[in-house]
Structure 1
Amino acid sequence: MDVLNDILDTLDLKGALYFRTDFSAPWGVTVPELQQAARFHLVVQGNCHVTFPSGAEIDLGPGDLVLIPKGRSHILSDRSSANAPPLETVLERAGFTGQGVLVWGEGSAHAATQMVCGHLSFRGGADHPLLRALPEYMLASAATRARTPLLDEMLRLVARTVFSGEIGSDAAVTRLSEIVFIELLRAGIAEDPQLGAMLEALRDKQIGRALELIHANPARPWTVELLAAEIGMSRSRFADRFSSLMGVGPMAYLADWRLQKALALLDDSRRSVQQVATQTGYQSPAAFTRAFAGKFGLPPTEYRRALA
């Protein structure tokens, strides 16, 4: 099975387009934190300076895209601007209704910077070693795009679609943004050691196979010994290799993954809590409830009521 596909489906990856911008210098905006989300900004025309809470700074030019995987606050600006009001203030002052183009800045009517801005969200409570391995930001520069033709093609298509103004263009971009995220993950192998190790695990002949077994049947009573035997490794070598690549031991990974699958299954009101417990490998609803509450802070019945 495709483990990465199962991870992103279970965590409920969804794209959302905010708007496209026409910013004329001097301009600046402080983008607030957004939990369980990854924000992205694609520069179509002009330049954008990005400042992160850690103090890191990058400059984006035409064709560059930055993804902030963990939804952290950041500042977008023209370098000449020392004023970066909160996004909410900018939207109010600009009279932006959520439709069309966000126009902002004190310069001429001619826009200096045009961007496509949006975010990708995950289910509340979504957690996985892959998400935890994501860096503060991911940059798709001209060099990155040259190495990854499919990512380059997707970003070109995003830009063309947004500015086409055709019916359904926003919906198309939200779907395309999900593909861009996946291609950025693949490109991240060469850019970030921790993310590279995580993706290496998915491709590793033996560890990748162990992950396939867990994801194909999380309810099976797996043990380290059983998984090691299935993939032809000794118990100790398997446990060490899995932990080294995934950043967590195989049994801890299994326990966490069962709870992520439970979150997804609880979205379906036709399944009882007992059925969800059985499908995710728990011996009883009581054991499932204890594990669920320990991870998410409330029992599954209350979680389901909150969804409703």
Structure 2
Amino acid sequence: MSHTKDLIDIILSGFRYTGSVINHPTFQNAFHDLETLNRNRMPFHYVESGGCVISTSNNDYQLEEGDFIAILRPTHHHTLKNAHAQIPQTTTLICGYFEFLAMNNKPFLNNLPEVIVIKRGRISESKKLALVMQMLVQEVNSKEYGANVAAKSLTELLFTLILRYVLNSSFVDRGLIAGLAHPHLSKSLAVFHKDFSSPWTVEQLAHAAGLSRSKFIACFNHIIGQSPGTYMTQWRMSWAANQLAQSDRSIFDIALSTGYQSDAAFSRAFKQFYDLAPSAYRKAATNVTY
């Protein structure tokens, strides 16, 4: 578990993310509200009172008071409607979203479950999750100064707790999240992410995992869904892309941080991966020329 704890901190530190409450609707009649699609935003809804049905392209989710839903891979629109159309009940929701701020977040997002539903009973079992939910409800309903700022901060904490909940549950059996929970792969992922600028070999990662080279490659491909070499390159390029978008570090400094000894070699690799030179990517991401 210590490997996993450290690794989650390292991975999340590579991405800037935020959260926000955007609506606090109360419906006294049947309702049908179409949510807008945003590829970076992961909408969530908490049922403060009443009940509703949230429909995605794949499923319907019936929620009652105290239930929570987050659409972590919002590739399609979702809709909300009253759970009791024939006898409408008053339903109050807290609606918001989590959002990664970088242009490139696929290595992480693609490994999250599409939808996570946490029923009221499950929330109550987690003291921290229950406390944050309770505080969020209080701030959303508060008329005190700074309530909006407090609610925003609570949604960011909520996202971290949701990721922890996903990791400790059996929502996924493939991808990075599953790899973090794997007794062998978590060790190799930990040594790589703690120092991904080093020229790691498959043999070294296999040794860290406590597996033979062939078993490690087979296990990595099966659980993570790609070869160790492809994963390392994808992560380094993704981290570099986030640095270009989020910081004013020089391209040479970013190149060194991703294991390249020159900005020319890094630029060639980056352009091959993103079809843009690092400077062009930075300009597109920030609209600022450094």
- Taking structure 1 as the reference length, the TM-score comes to 0.81
Which residue is equivalent to 2:121? 143
RMSD: 2.5
Q: In the TM superposition, what is the alpha-carbon distance from 1:198 to its structure 2 partner?
A: 4.2
Which residue is equivalent to 1:260? 238
1:1-308 paired onto structure 2 within 5 Å: 2-54=6-58, 56-71=59-74, 72-79=76-83, 112-122=90-100, 123-128=102-107, 130-188=108-166, 189-194=168-173, 198-267=176-245, 270-306=248-284, 307=286, 308=288
Q: In the TM superposition, what is the alpha-carbon distance from 1:121 to its structure 2 partner?
A: 0.8
Q: In the TM superposition, what is the alpha-carbon distance from 1:256 to its structure 2 partner?
A: 1.0
Partners of 1:276 and 1:115 in 2: CA distance:
43
What is the one-letter code of the residue matched to 2:65? P
Partners of 2:224 and 2:278 in 1: CA distance:
27
Which residues of structure 2 form unaligned runs of 5+? none
Partners of 1:276 and 1:147 in 2: CA distance:
43
Partners of 1:127 and 1:282 in 2: CA distance:
23
What whole-Å deviation, never above 9, does each CA across 1:95-127 have from its counterpart, x for those lacking one?
Answer: xxxxxxxxxxxx9xxx91211111111121112
Q: Which moved more, 1:139-148 or 1:18-27?
A: 139-148
The answer (yes or no) to whether the contact 1:198–1:246 under 8 Å persists in 2 is: yes
Partners of 1:211 and 1:73 in 2: CA distance:
34
Q: In the TM superposition, what is the alpha-carbon distance from 1:132 to its structure 2 partner?
A: 1.3
- Taking structure 2 as the reference length, the TM-score comes to 0.86
Corresponding pairs, count: 278
What is the one-letter code of the residue matched to 1:125? N
Other structure's SS at 1:194 match: coil
What is the one-letter code of the residue matched to 2:31? W
Partners of 1:232 and 1:125 in 2: CA distance:
32
Which residues of structure 1 form unaligned runs of 5+? 83-106
